[in-house]
Amino acid sequence: MRVAVTGAGGRLGRALVAALAEAPFTGLSGPIAWTRADFDLDAPEAAAALIRGDRPELVIHAAAWTDVDGCARDPDLAFARNATATGVLARACATAGVDLVVVSTNEVFDGERSTPYAPDDEPRPINPYGASKLEGERTAAGAYAGAQARLGIARTSWLFGPPGNDFPARILAAAERARDAGEPLRVVGDEHGSPTYTHDLAEAIIELVSDGDVGGIHHLVNGGVTSRAGWARELFRQARVAAAIEEVPAATWTRASSPPLRAVLAPTPLPSGEPMRPWQQALADYLPTLLRQRAAAAR
Ligand SMILES: NC(=O)c1ccc[n+]([C@@H]2O[C@H](COP(=O)([O-])OP(=O)(O)OC[C@H]3O[C@@H](n4cnc5c(N)ncnc54)[C@H](OP(=O)(O)O)[C@@H]3O)[C@@H](O)[C@H]2O)c1
């Protein structure tokens, strides 16, 4: 099967390309990696010609403008990149009879309730990033209405993984700065989610694809729920970093975008019946890579 990935240079895109290269169904030529040079969200009209030229049978749309504060400062650009561009890509795929998986986010929900969100719960985004991603889901669904090909929406949350500059990398750097300044490290204690390893998410998407079960809305997250502070604490325990954490509310810092405080996704079943593993185990797998990345950056 010929599978193309948009945003192939991004955090999830890299993991998808690596996992698809190992998947038996992508054949000898492997996946088709579309970086920003091939498919730029600011020039999405390129999609139709790209599909004609590369002839994918499935496209996984991982490209997005993921700078949530940037999206809040420029909501029009957020909609152009995350909604309009997704719609253009979806129409090109649906017209060509190509299946599409759109990667989306837990931030389509308001995070105001205490129980996890199922795929058919009513979305209500509270920031422009979430609103633009939800509109991307909806424009894609519109493009596939009545189409022969299938559309899957894969929502996820709190991604971590190479090449760095993710929450684990940033919190390790912050802990170092706090230690040098002789201050406690202040970490948000009232924002909850499921940290999800890009490698595991890529494998889960591949499982859905290889089972031919990609259509519909999927909630794909590692097992377990924690706060930002809980995530930091577990990371420090695993990395043997001694750091005193002071839990503070998310409202402590003024940001352009407000995160939903409890937009926790209820995981949907995978074809194997096995849930994605707990986030702590995934973090332990990632740790050696994370520490190597930090060492390389320090050189
Ligand atoms: N990160 C999270 O915690 C998280 C949580 C839930 C859902 N998601 C969703 O998961 C997907 C993958 O996220 P990610 O963390 O892998 O994001 P990322 O690392 O920021 O990657 C985004 C990709 O989009 C590409 N892109 C193409 N055109 C762009 C444009 N005009 N402006 C900005 N970027 C453009 C980027 O290209 P360059 O490589 O050239 O920059 C990059 O490869 C996205 O759909 C995101 O909404 C992410």
Q: Are residues 282 and 142 in the same domain?
A: no
Per-residue pLDDT of the chain (299 residues; tens, 9 = 90+): 999 999 999 999 999 999 999 998 888 889 999 999 999 999 999 999 999 999 999 999 999 999 999 999 999 999 999 999 999 999 999 999 999 999 999 999 999 999 999 999 999 999 999 999 999 999 999 999 999 999 999 999 999 999 989 999 999 999 999 999 999 999 999 999 999 999 999 999 999 999 887 999 999 999 999 999 999 999 999 999 999 999 999 999 889 999 999 999 999 999 999 999 999 999 999 999 999 998 888 88
The string of pLDDT tens digits covering residues 236-286 is 999 999 999 999 999 998 899 999 999 999 999 999 999 999 999 999 999
Span from the CA of 238 to the centroid of ligand 1 (angstroms): 28
DSSP type of residue 224: -
Burial of 36 (0-12, 13-18, 19+ CB in 10 A): middle
129, 144, 197, 286: the active-site residue? 129
Cα–Cα distance for residue pair 289/14, rounded to 1 Å: 14
Among protein residues, the one with the nearest Cα to ligand 1's atom 30 is 41
- Residue 245 CA to ligand 1 centre (angstroms): 30
Q: Give 179 Cα–ligand 1 centroid separation in angstroms.
A: 32
What whole-number distance in Å separates Cα of residue 16 and Cα of residue 62?
9
- What is the domain count for the chain? 2
Shared domain check, 125 and 170: no
Atom of ligand 1 nearest to the CA of 13: 16
Residue 168 located in a structural domain? yes
Q: Which domain holds residue 244?
A: 164-192+225-262+278-298
At 159 the pLDDT is 98
State whether 242 and 150 are in the same domain: no
β-sheet bridge partners, residue 59: 4, 100
Indicate if 31 and 137 belong to the same structural domain.
Answer: yes
Assess whether 291 and 184 both reside in one domain. yes
Cβ 101 vs Cβ 58: under 8 Å: yes
169: left (phi over 0), alpha (psi -120 to 50) or beta: alpha
- The residue whose CA is least distant from atom 21 of ligand 1 is 10
In a shared domain, residues 97 and 140: yes
Ligand 1 closest atom vs CA 36: 27
Whether residues 85 and 207 share a domain: the answer is: yes
Nearest CA owner, ligand 1 atom 20:
66
Does 41 share its domain with 17?
A: yes
What's the 64 CA to ligand 1 centre distance in angstroms? 4
129 annotated active-site: yes
**Could you tell me if 154 and 244 lie in one domain?**
no
**Sign, CA torsion 11/80/111/141:** negative
Answer yes or no: do 171 and 110 share one domain: no
Q: Ligand 1: residues within 6 Å at CB?
A: 7, 9-13, 36, 40-42, 62-66, 81, 103, 105, 133, 156-159
Instruction: Return mean pLDDT, the chain.
Output: 96
Q: Report the alpha-carbon distance of residue 132 to residue 81 in Å, rounded.
A: 8
CATH number of the domain where residue 187 is located = 3.90.25.10
Residue 110 lies in a domain: yes
